[in-house]
Structure 1
Amino acid sequence: MSISSLKGGVGKTSVTLGLASAALAAGIPTLVVDLDPHADATTGLGVRPNRQTDIGRLLKNVRRADLGANVTSSGWVATATSNDKHGVGRKVLDVAVGSAYTGIYDRPDLSRRDLRRLATILSRVEGYSLVLVDCPPSLNGLTRMAWSASSHVLLVAEPSLFSVAGTERTMRALDLFREEFAPNLATAGVVANRVRSGSNEHAFRIAEMKTMFGDLLLSPTIAEQANWQQIQGAAHAIHHWPGESARQAAGLFDELLKSVTDSGRLRNRVLRR
């Protein structure tokens, strides 16, 4: 599943990390592919520099690329394992490490062959029930490469005029991409992020999104988290952070994960406009 947004600054990577945290807590073996050249997801997942080849260089050498040998475990896993009082199963949250090198593919003129690079690499790995691809905030080559490798796209929006308009443009881009490259690509939904309950503007935009996107607007919305930057700066999972606000946020991501992985609903979410 690709996590996408045309507009930067809406918390796309934060949603990716929240879903990864929920998957880890639920015991779902998950791989996060950090396709954004800024590599913020890699940092937030507590990955320490090692000898693993980053995803950009793996994409460059598809024929010899061995993703399975180059993923690294998130730093969150040790904490999750120690917190698991029941000790049921091994916790798996792996990361395909991001880097600025992926930027060589973030251009609009990729060939069909280039668009299949990530799909080819992912086809060689096994053992994951969920793969989350954190995309850059653009419709250039990297995002389209991620869409080519995905069965679903989750769109992230803030309840603001520009973000809602950007989400509408992304919907149109998805339609065009399906027609030309991926007829079976489905929309997992639209998640409203950083919602302030006391804001009239946010309430208006949420109502607007319900009208525009219908049942593609997912529930729950994700409330603005005052200490989210602190949590990410410490490279912690939201489920591991102390305090009531973090516990509530973790619960929202648990619900969101259940919503986007509901196979019955996902099968029916190919948006035709």
Structure 2
Amino acid sequence: MQVVSISSLKGGVGKTSVTTGLASAALAAGIPTLVVDLDPHADASTALGVSPEDQLDIGRMLRSPRRAHLADNVVSSGWVEQARANAAAPVLDVAVGSAYTGIYDRPDLGRRDLRRLSAVLAGAATYDLVLIDCPPSLNGLTRMAWSASDKVALVAEPGLFSVAGTERTLRAIQLFRQEFAPKLTPAGIVANRVRSGSAEHAFRLSEMESMFGQLLLSPHIPEQANWQQIQGAAHAVHHWPGDSAKNAAGLFDTLLQNLVNPNGLAAAGSVRNRSLR
């Protein structure tokens, strides 16, 4: 099992869109996946089309992590029904987000509190991939996610403040590794919402390549006009009609390969190589 935190210091860069795009690629590949919606806004839960009944949300699981019984409280994504035509038994579950998690989003969490999510995920052995959608901060929830993760993927727009924030986050990861999580590694940086005709974006991408080298992952994810429509309809990008969505799905397939190396996952299928148009 690989546990990957999707993080950003700056809000509005499309962190949740990247999380759900990767979840869509994992579902299409047949990789049993859990999405942990750790952002108190719970946007990933909305986009994944979950309809919880009596299950505990992730905030309440964190309150009593050793009694949380993760398997009893995850909710199957609404995307699974969309995928059944292409896979015999697809698995995409969600630990549902809620505003309740905000009580842990403080800068003063001690080591015991930082281990809460790790304790919850001790019940996640049935998954090959866990994606954690973090809030856009370096407070308690993000640090709790990093404590439970093998890797951290950073999401950045090719803009001045986002690039500067990414550099600060990389330094924060290094400090966090030294004190709390020596096995944690940066998975790379996803350049998101890239506008192909923007001279500013082209300049910042060149700057990011110079600053971050091989940590800057490929492919870059372009700005997509219909992304809000796809998320509002609670659809996987792989199941949305049209060439634009098909191309975006292919990009996320390749990004998933480069981010988590699915060859190392005990997946039910392999990530499909789509032609990028």
TM-score, structure 2 as length reference: 0.92
1:58-78 superposed Cα distances (whole Å, 9 cap, x missing partner): 100123111111001000000
2:225 — aligned with what? Answer: 226
SS of corresponding position for 1:121: helix
1:28 — aligned with what? Answer: 31
Distance 2:52 2:92 in 1: 16
2:12 — aligned with what? Answer: 9
Distance 1:62 1:233 in 2: 31
2:89 — aligned with what? Answer: 90
1:110 — aligned with what? Answer: 109
Deviation at 1:49, TM superposition (A): 3.2
From 50, 72, 75, the counterpart of 2:75? 72
1:35-71 superposed Cα distances (whole Å, 9 cap, x missing partner): 0000000000000131110000010012311111100
1:196-227 superposed Cα distances (whole Å, 9 cap, x missing partner): 11111100000000001000000100011010
Distance 2:186 2:49 in 1: 29
1:164 — aligned with what? Answer: 163
Deviation at 1:17, TM superposition (A): 0.2
Query: Residue type of the partner of 1:175?
Result: Q
1:268 — aligned with what? Answer: none
1:45 — aligned with what? Answer: 48
Are the equivalent residues in 1 in contact too, given 2:47–2:231 (CA < 8 A)? yes
Structure 2: gaps of 5 or more residues: 265-277
Deviation at 1:262, TM superposition (A): 1.9
Identity of aligned pairs, percent? 74
1:131 — aligned with what? Answer: 130
Distance 1:91 1:136 in 2: 27
Deviation at 1:124, TM superposition (A): 2.1
Query: Residue type of the partner of 1:27?
Result: G
Are the equivalent residues in 1 in contact too, given 2:108–2:140 (CA < 8 A)? yes
1:180 aligns with 2:183: no
Are the equivalent residues in 1 in contact too, given 2:150–2:183 (CA < 8 A)? yes
1:254 aligns with 2:257: no
Distance 1:235 1:214 in 2: 35
Are the equivalent residues in 1 in contact too, given 2:52–2:75 (CA < 8 A)? no
SS of corresponding position for 2:208: helix
Aligned length: 261
TM-score, structure 1 as length reference: 0.94
1:270 — aligned with what? Answer: none
Distance 1:15 1:231 in 2: 13
